[in-house]
Amino acid sequence: MTASEKMPFTVDPTAPLLNYWRKPVAEVASVDMGAAAPGLTDDAVKERHRIFCFLLMAIIRRFWNGNKRGPMGLYPAREKQKLASQDGNLSYFRYKGDMLKTGDNYRINWDRYLGHNIACIAVDGNGEVIDFDFNHNDFFRSSAEHAEARMVRRLFSLTSISDGWKTGQRIPERSRAFSLKEVTLYTSLESCAQCSGIMSLGRVKQVIFLQNDPGTYAIGNIMYNLAGSDPSDQSSMSPLPIPSALVGLGQFDALNAAYANFCATLRAAKAQQDKGHAFYVSPDQSTIDYESSITSFLCTDAAYDIFDAGTATFETLTLKHPTAKNPAVDGSWTNAKCLEGARQFYKYADVEGFRGSPHRV
């Protein structure tokens, strides 16, 4: 680096930032997955990841709530989510909150909107699901209650209860869960700057996401490239962001394509002031929402159908590599035991894991 290219602040001469300083954005925002995650060429490893991706989809579908603008009004893209027994000629309708498929007198269809249909699960190196959490921005009236950030905070709060999870190599005089070097988070969307930062502070190993989010500006990739490695064991200082397409999840492309179609539909509707294709119309028609945000998309029937299909796969999944284990962790569970554990965890979440309330304590 020449004197004229001197950085405006002091940087360790071995830091990755120095290497990327004069390189194009495309290079710093792209991760060489072949070098970063060579294990993803192993079909058994990919199958293991898909188990947890499908579990996440099942949990999201179980607690699905698309009432972003409230339960009353008109959501043209939520035809399947209307409450039954309503005259089809009405100018507005009431929509379901909890998309339970079977009637249960002990469960309430909760139509209050608690947060976006965005969630994540944490899985330890052994293959055991630690816990799950949802985005709760609306519930807490805060834009900082994202699923991954809440999950990392929950992981550290749980360390006082149990330190038996294989979250990373034990640090002397610290709980095993002080380090999350063997924890993988599976999340709905490519992580934002807040969540990427919190996961980096927690030393989460990797994050596998179900769908791209253009609003994150590939910040997870950038942080992974610039954070460098821990000199003690060469582990990454920032989680490796892995699109679920790389583990063979077909829903990744389906969600991205459906979102692109949603955006195109909303843009055309706004240009033509076509409220019949808006995202939402209030009962008195004073509010017409044409916003094509990804959180609005995750309220629609198109998104729900993809999560529903993922849930069906989870319920009927058969494994091609049932005896495979995590090669990075001695004594880890087999893929078959991971699937069994994931299904048991879903049963727990279905009954006890109410959105917006504490669980797994």
Distances in Å between the Cα of 282 and the Cα atoms of 76, 161, 210, 338, 343 are 12, 46, 31, 45, 39
Q: What residues contact residue 86 under an 8 Å CB cut-off, 6+ apart?
A: 93, 94
> Tens digits of per-residue pLDDT, 89-102?
888 999 998 877 76
What is the CA 283 to chain-centroid distance, rounded? Answer: 32
- Identify which of 299, 359, 308 has the alpha carbon closest to the alpha carbon of residue 65: 299
Could you tell me which residue, 82 or 229, shows the higher pLDDT? 82
Looking at residue 171, what is its pLDDT?
60
Does some domain include residue 361?
no
Measured torsion, CA atoms of residues 313, 317, 323, 328, in degrees rounded to the nearest 10: 10
> Could you tell me the pLDDT band of residue 296, with boundaries at 50, 70 and 90?
very high
- Range(s) of the domain holding residue 122: 45-95+107-316+329-352
10 pLDDT exceeds 60? yes
Number of domains forming the structure of the chain: 1
What is the spatial distance between Cα 241 and Cα 227, in angstroms, rounded to a whole number? Answer: 13
Does some domain include residue 75?
yes
> Please, are residues 209 and 189 in contact by the beta-carbon 8 Å criterion?
yes
> Could you tell me the pLDDT band of residue 361, with boundaries at 50, 70 and 90?
very low
Return mean pLDDT, the chain.
87
Region for 127 from its dihedrals, namely left if φ exceeds 0, alpha if ψ lies in -120 to 50, beta otherwise: left
Q: Considering the entire predicted model, what is its pTM?
A: 0.92
Q: What residues contact residue 344 under an 8 Å CB cut-off, 6+ apart?
A: none
Does some domain include residue 179?
yes
Q: Give φ, ψ of 258 to 5 degrees.
A: -65, -35
Does some domain include residue 19?
no
Does some domain include residue 11?
no
12 pLDDT exceeds 80? no
358 pLDDT exceeds 60? no
> Could you tell me the pLDDT band of residue 138, with boundaries at 50, 70 and 90?
low
Does some domain include residue 277?
yes
Residue appearing with tokens 């380090």: 179
Does some domain include residue 167?
yes
Does some domain include residue 201?
yes
